[in-house]
Amino acid sequence: MEINKEEVGQRFKRSMLSYDANARVQKLVVERLETMITSVAGVRDGKILEIGCGTGLLTRRLKRDFPEAGLYLNDLVRDLCYHAADGNSVPGECCFPGDVEKIAFPSCFDLIVSASTFQWFTTPGETFRKLAGCLKTGGLMVFSTFGKHNLREIRLTTGGGLDYRCKEEMSELLSPCFEVEEVAEELHVIEFDSPLEVLQHLKRTGVNVSGNPTIWTKGRVDAFINDYNTRFAVNGKVTLTYHPLYFVCRKTES
């Protein structure tokens, strides 16, 4: 699926106020990612770049865990980037709003981190090379993304959605510039009372259900509800699957 970054940004901007209250799995991902970061990162007074800071779920933890470090933030959505900065005492000059695949970064970081963002890359191999160039020799990149089974119910019901990559594909894309030191994955299956609640949950977390900007008419919504119930209803509930992947990568010698 071709990714429309402008549309992605608009969706996340619209969900800015509802995201934290609805991002159940994303919060669990951030908790595990924090544990991985603190177990490997020796950058107490170094420089950290967070890609896709969003509402600041990970940012808050980074400020707490690395109070002496210089923290720099990026997000596709300018308002989100500065909102996360303002809420976590990050100076405005440490913000790099915009598409990480297009904007320039300094080559001074000890650690790059990211939670649930890299699945939006249109040219991941090129972008990983770019990010490697932003790291000091031996620097680390620790991130989470989503794997093949992510939102499988949505893909099977609508026929649309992102083309998620498995951990082997991601490792291959990273290999020219990084040594992958650790890989982990999880499956989180969460329950909702109805397919309509699934749609509302995804909207409130900035996700486009079908992968295209088609308007959801009443007829389309009704068809989605009927199909989703037929496929995924069990004991009066319906499910939605999240498939987070986690990577710890070290920049290799060029």
- Per-residue pLDDT, averaged over 139-155, amounts to 97
Report the DSSP beta bridge partners of residue 241.
189
- Per-residue pLDDT, averaged over 52-80, amounts to 97
Nearest C-alpha neighbor of 48 from the set 39, 57, 59, 56: 59
**In which element (H, E) is residue 248 found?**
strand 244-251
CB 58 within 8 A of CB 163: no
Is there a domain that residue 11 lies in?
yes
Q: pLDDT by residue (tens digit) across 39-58? A: 997 777 899 999 999 999 99
Q: Which domain holds residue 25?
A: 5-148+162-187+243-251
pLDDT higher for 254 or 159? 159
Is there a domain that residue 220 lies in?
no
pTM metric for this prediction: 0.94
Is there a domain that residue 211 lies in?
no
Q: pLDDT by residue (tens digit) across 82-94? A: 999 999 999 999 9
User: Hey, what amino acid is at 17?
Assistant: L
CATH of the domain at 76: 3.40.50.150
Is there a domain that residue 214 lies in?
no
What are 186's two structure tokens? 């999880």
**Looking at the predicted structure, is the pLDDT value of residue 210 above 70?**
no
- Per-residue pLDDT, averaged over 68-91, amounts to 97
CA distance 31 to 34: 5
Output phi, psi for 172, to 5 deg.
-65, -40
Q: Which pLDDT band holds residue 6 (cuts at 50, 70, 90)?
A: confident
Instruction: Tell me the residue ranges of DSSP E strands in 47-202.
Output: 47-51, 70-75, 95-97, 109-114, 135-146, 178-185, 188-192
**Looking at the predicted structure, is the pLDDT value of residue 212 above 70?**
no
For the chain, what is the domain count? 1
